[in-house]
Amino acid sequence: MELKNLELAKQLRHELHRYPELSNHEVWTKQHLIDFLQVHTNLEVVDKGAWFYAVYQAGKGKKNLAFRADFDALPIDETISLPYASKVAGVSHKCGHDGHSASLAGFALEVDQKGSENNIFFLFQHAEETGDGAIECASLIKEQQIDEIYAFHNMSGLPFQSVNVIDGVAHCASRGMTIRMEGTPAHASQPETGVNPAFAIARIIEEIPSLTLPEKHEGLVLCTVVKVDIGERAFGIAASKGDLLLTIRALYENELNQLQKNLEKIAYEQADKYGIKVSFSYTDVFPETLNHKESNNRVRKICRTLGIPLGELTEAYRASEDFGHYTKLTKGAMVFIGNGEQYPHIHTVEYDFRDELIETAVELFKGIAQVE
């Protein structure tokens, strides 16, 4: 990577870090990235509202390759001392999306200046943290007939600057599930005259371990109680409404769907038993992220050619990623570049993206871009 381009990408990363924005609110971030590409490249930029992409045209008959970076931040305070620390109270780039976007922008600089054997689409995505972004941006796959799509995530616990791959599922599917139960109120001295949902909700919670037994599933299945919210802080009134918030997660999407159905079934049974109204809502919906072996093999070949340390992961990450929306529609892979085995983990206050990973990502992407 040209030193001038690397320095520009690092500077961009620090600028993005100073002014983080939460999912679906990335107005400045998006425009700043667009401005960077328009100032430093001749690439066509296509504004899609909450997200955008830039294009390098190699010509008709060439492959259409896409590379994706996310650019939203997290609701976490910046508490470590950095010269480019977040200036936004309660918000910071503790997942490294500033580094993902800076790396993709640095890659765009290199392709614009040196060319590519294929048509390259630089996809800058909003709202990865909430699962809203990729499902919208996935329209690019069909509209532009994308042959393959790639992305990377920085990951602690892996050797510094190593590239790591896994065939098949790379990230579990998950979703936030809210079970709402509504009975009828009563005076606390006469609870029998109302309908309290507490017992029905308690029964659902009691059933969770039996629904996630490892021996009953092909892959990992989890159900995490996030919050139980029943009644009011009024000691004269028996509870009449309650919400049970769960995060349900599974290695395989079909088993996640079955877990959801089982929870709904139990909730309906308890609602009938106690005479309660029940409803369900879902948020932060993530698919399983499935890597294609053919795409991973390209990554493996490039790492061997360039001398980049290559690791083979044996287990998918439990945390979810919305990149799976893309690989449902075309071939592709999410790879992982190591922050270091002892480096602070993402989504913690001690974490900051390591600038050295930018060049590793750019060189990897450049290699992929030249694949016939």
Quick one: average pLDDT of 178-202?
98
Tell which of 254, 285, 316 closes a domain: 285
Mark whether 45 and 81 lie in a shared domain: yes
- pLDDT per residue as tens digits for the range 288-342: 999 999 999 999 999 999 999 999 999 999 999 999 999 999 999 999 999 999 9
Q: Are residues 89 and 129 in the same domain?
A: yes
pLDDT for the residue numbered 303: 98
Residues 195 and 207 in one domain: yes
Same domain, 75 and 221: no
Residue 175 CA to residue 31 CA, distance in Å, equals 30
As a whole number, the mean pLDDT across the chain is 98
Amino acid symbol at 274: Y
**Cα torsion at 83, 87, 92, 93 (round to 10°)?**
-50
Range of the domain at 225: 173-285
Domain shared by 19 and 81, yes or no: yes
pLDDT in tens, 347-369: 999 999 999 999 999 999 999 99
As a whole-number percent, the residues of the chain with pLDDT over 70 amount to: 100
Please choose, from the candidates 111, 128, 105, 123, the residue with its C-alpha nearest in 3D space to the C-alpha of residue 53.
123
State whether 166 and 178 are in the same domain. no
Do 263 and 116 reside in the same domain of the chain? no
Last residue of a domain, one of 247, 268, 285: 285
Helix (H, G, I), strand (E, B) or coil at 78: coil
How many domains in the chain?
2
CATH of the domain at 364: 3.40.630.10
Are 156 and 252 members of one domain?
no
Residues 273 and 180 placed together within one structural domain of the fold: yes
Question: Both 308 and 273 in a single domain?
Answer: no
What percent of the residues of the chain are helix, what percent strand, and what percent coil, each to the nearest 5? 35, 30, 35
**Residue 371 scores a pLDDT above 80:** no
For the segment 28-86, what is each residue's pLDDT rounded down to a tens digit? Answer: 999 999 999 999 999 999 999 999 999 999 999 999 999 999 999 999 999 999 999 99
Same domain, residue pair 145 and 26: yes
3 state SS of 354: coil
Do residues 14 and 145 share a domain?
Answer: yes
CATH at 195:
3.30.70.360
Going by pLDDT thresholds of 50, 70 and 90, the confidence category of residue 372 is low
Question: 50 with 30: CB under 8 angstroms?
Answer: yes
This prediction's pTM: 0.96
Cβ-count burial of 371 within 10 angstroms (0-12 exposed, 13-18 middle, 19+ buried)? Answer: middle
Percent of the chain with pLDDT over 90: 99
Last residue of a domain, one of 285, 309, 324: 285
Beta bridge partners of 98: none
